[in-house]
Amino acid sequence: MADFINWGILGTGSIARTFAKGLSDSRTGRLVAVGSRTRESADRFGEQFSVEKRHGSYEALLADPDVQAVYVSTPHPMHAEWAIKAARAGKHVLCEKPLTIHYPEAMAVAEAARENGVFLMEAFMYRCHPQTAKLVELIHEKAIGDVRIISANFSFQAGFNAESRLFDPALGGGGILDVGCYCTSMARLIAGAATGQPFADPVQVSGAAHLGESGVDEYAVASLKFPGEVVAQLATGVRVNQENSVWIYGTEGRIFVPSPWFCGPTDGAVKLILQRNGEDQKEVVIESDRSLYAYEADAFAEGVRTGQTPHPAMSPEDTLGNMLALDKWRSAIGLKYPQDTMEGQTHTASGERLKPHRGQERMKYGSVQGVEKPVSKIVMGTMLEGAVNPVTAASALFDDFIERGGNCFDTAYIYGGGNSEKIFGNWVEKRGIRDQVVVIAKGAHTPYCTPEWLTKQFMETLDRLRMDFADIYLMHRDNLEVPVGEFVEAMNEHVRAGRMKAFGGSNWSLERVQAANEYAESKGLAGFSAISNNFSLARMVNPIWGGCIAASDPESRAWLTRTQLPNFSWSSQARGFFVRGNPDDRSDGELVHAWYSEENFERKRRAEELARKKGTQPITIAAAYVLHQPFPVHALIGPRTLSEMRTSFEALDVELSPEEARWLNLEA
Ligand SMILES: NC(=O)c1ccc[n+]([C@@H]2O[C@H](COP(=O)([O-])OP(=O)(O)OC[C@H]3O[C@@H](n4cnc5c(N)ncnc54)[C@H](OP(=O)(O)O)[C@@H]3O)[C@@H](O)[C@H]2O)c1
């Protein structure tokens, strides 16, 4: 057991009271402080629970040096802000469920905890009770054979009250986030145990719901499909009573959990009912010696002590999977909160203004002729169509990118059918940082690659971005039927009108770029300031998409070295070749087609060897290679999660000598 932990409770509502009572029964915790938005409420709470220090603001609680761990018990939408601020204040964080209102914010909280070296746990108290551990043990022992169907319900009937957090969309109301999150977390735990994992994430989520007069899910159901032939059915609600239980059906029997969430009765023995096919049902008795919330505080203390979440309590990875499942469930029933919309992107997850260079990031910058701002060497892609909600994903990812010192974003007319430009433009506007970011706009993709379409699409791009200029405009493709001078003339017109600061071409042959610049020089016009062709350690052996061009061959590299024209390299990490590339695995057709060659596998082998020496990953070595060239390269990245963002940035910390770079590329 851990040494004693000094707790501070943040928020004085109903669950805060329950937790305060539970703490008094824990073996590891003592309540030393409480923080409320009002002094009166802090005092009242302090009186009732004999808390010595009573703070009239949450900030004061976080500044209290006597507090080691903070219990965040506000309504859901405020969890992210106070959990992040607590982590930044160096406090360990136990945060009420759901960790945040949506998955992208949850990623921000998990990163904040990691970055500040504090322990984070989502307060699913039932996960800390011995009943849940016993359940996992029974599944591991195959007490009911192989798990097939999990059925989990958590639902209650509250009287409608538009003001209450249960019904207010702005406070994340409805059943799914309030209690449906227990059902997803249980199904994921059992499906994981069934396949020998700490948890499993569903590969399919569908749902149906009744959205009530305030627009929140008054009751909802979901069907989940997991790897390992396991499925789950979940039911939740805030306006209907159900039998709040869990059934697990397997090939050789079933388990009934009469009190899965509160693990009742409150003290003494708890029972699970096990029925093996063809046998009498058996009671499995679990002794408990503390209250439910005392178990939670003690599991948390163990996590603080060991740095590991004691399974089956909620680890941050488990929480992220659960939050994603909840986003998918809400998406399946069409439930959107104000925080999910473009209009709702008013603030960062922490509620604080963006702080470029939040951590120790060593961003490097280059310059592009015509652009006054320095341009970050790592460039963020803006196509997030794979996300459950690209709007909220964009806010979390772009905020993090800025805080890591990035400032350059790659957009395109065709990304997301125009949605990507709108989402990105909205985010820039909401953050008020237009003067800090370098925006790459792209357009005139085949078959619209003519000067007329270029202008037409570009004007629409500016409209979608809600910007009056792009820092860098790149033609997305070339059209060899159009004399190069016509494109140069069209783009110079936009430069003169102030609508673009610099321009260039993506997937242009270097001969055509050369011709464009010779034309420009002969006419006293601006020429190409940049290109955007693929450049990576692995050589693209076949184009990934029609008309796309790489600049990784020796002639291109010699040309780039001579001209020093910046290249904004897309697929700079060869689309996962350095992670998934394996001559025996041909399951990813695109990867095989574009990157599989003997030479590339040798480059990958060398990247692995160097990665071992330098204590990093092969993909990080591949990214560092791109940034260590005798010509300017900016690497485009497309992380989907904040942990992918973090690892992409690690390339900045890897030093490669020119000899090492040449060796990686089989030149020595
Ligand atoms: N694990 C469990 O068993 C369990 C059970 C119930 C609820 N919960 C979770 O705990 C959280 C709080 O639920 P609750 O039922 O305790 O809520 P509650 O009774 O409404 O209390 C929430 C408290 O948060 C603070 N707060 C801060 N901003 C607020 C705002 N804009 N509106 C209302 N309150 C605000 C208030 O404390 P101050 O006035 O002191 O600042 C308030 O008393 C929810 O996320 C919920 O999911 C967990």
For ligand 1, atom 42: residue with the closest CA? 13
- Separation of alpha carbons 71 and 90, rounded Å: 13
The pLDDT tens digits for 591-610 are: 999 999 999 999 999 999 99
Degrees, nearest 5: CA angle 52-54-58:
140
Ligand 1 nearest-atom number relative to CA 262: 3
Phi–psi pair at 664, nearest 5 degrees: -60, -35
Could you tell me the pTM of the whole model? Answer: 0.95
Q: Return the closest-CA partner of residue 272 out of 244, 251, 247, 243.
A: 247
Ligand 1 nearest-atom number relative to CA 16: 16
- State the pairing for strand pair 120-122/147-155: unpaired
pLDDT, average across residues 178-195: 98
Ligand 1 nearest-atom number relative to CA 123: 1
pLDDT at 267: 58
The pLDDT tens digits for 205-223 are: 999 999 999 999 999 999 9
Q: Which residues make beta-bridge pairs with 506? A: 532
pLDDT at 1: 44
**Helices 598-614/618-627 angle, 10° precision:** 100
pLDDT at 166: 97
Which of 34, 73, 183 has the most ligand 1 atoms within 8 A of CB, as the residue to mutate?
A: 73
Q: How many angstroms does the Cα of residue 13 sit away from the middle of ligand 1? A: 5
pLDDT exceeds cutoff 60 at 106:
yes
pLDDT at 361: 63
pLDDT exceeds cutoff 70 at 135:
yes
How many helices (DSSP H) and strands (DSSP E) are in the chain?
Answer: 22, 24
| Helix, strand, or coil (residue 546) | coil
Q: How many angstroms does the Cα of residue 58 sit away from the middle of ligand 1? A: 13
Ligand 1 nearest-atom number relative to CA 261: 3
pLDDT grade, residue 264 (50/70/90)? confident
pLDDT grade, residue 552 (50/70/90)? confident
Which of 9, 10, 14, 127 has the most ligand 1 atoms within 8 A of CB, as the residue to mutate?
A: 14
- Separation of alpha carbons 528 and 504, rounded Å: 4
Percent of the chain at pLDDT exceeding 90: 94
For ligand 1, atom 20: residue with the closest CA? 13
pLDDT, average across residues 176-189: 98
pLDDT, average across residues 400-404: 96
Sign of the dihedral through C-alpha 96, 98, 104, 107: positive
E strand or H helix that includes residue 114: helix 103-115
pLDDT, average across residues 386-414: 97
pLDDT, average across residues 419-428: 98
Q: Using the structure block, give the residue that is written with the tokens 């004999």.
A: 50
- Separation of alpha carbons 222 and 210, rounded Å: 12
Would you state the torsion angle of the CA atoms of residues 466, 467, 471, 476, taken in this order, to the nearest 10 degrees? 40
Mean pLDDT of the chain: 96
Q: How many angstroms does the Cα of residue 73 sit away from the middle of ligand 1? A: 5
E strand or H helix that includes residue 79: helix 79-88
Degrees, nearest 5: CA angle 437-442-443:
150
Ligand 1 nearest-atom number relative to CA 58: 41
Check if the beta carbon of residue 122 is closer than 8 Å to that of residue 303.
Answer: no
pLDDT, average across residues 286-306: 95
- Separation of alpha carbons 511 and 94, rounded Å: 60
- Separation of alpha carbons 73 and 20, rounded Å: 11
Burial 155-183 (b: 16+ CB within 10 A, else e): bbeeeeeeeebbbbbebbbbbbbbbbbbb
Q: Return the closest-CA partner of residue 574 out of 564, 560, 563, 588.
A: 588
Distance of CA 385 to the CA centre of its chain: 14
pLDDT, average across residues 38-64: 98
Q: Which residues make beta-bridge pairs with 92? A: 69
pLDDT at 269: 82
pLDDT grade, residue 301 (50/70/90)? very high
pLDDT, average across residues 273-295: 95
The pLDDT tens digits for 637-654 are: 999 999 999 988 999 999
Q: Using the structure block, give the residue that is written with the tokens 């928020």.
A: 11
Beta carbons within 8 Å of 444's beta carbon, 6+ residues apart: 413, 450, 453, 454, 457, 458, 475, 476, 477
pLDDT at 292: 95
pLDDT exceeds cutoff 90 at 454:
yes
Ligand 1, residues at Cβ distance < 6 Å: 11-16, 36-38, 41, 73-76, 78, 96-97, 123, 125, 165, 178
For ligand 1, atom 21: residue with the closest CA? 13
pLDDT exceeds cutoff 60 at 2:
no
- Separation of alpha carbons 645 and 398, rounded Å: 10
- Separation of alpha carbons 323 and 232, rounded Å: 17
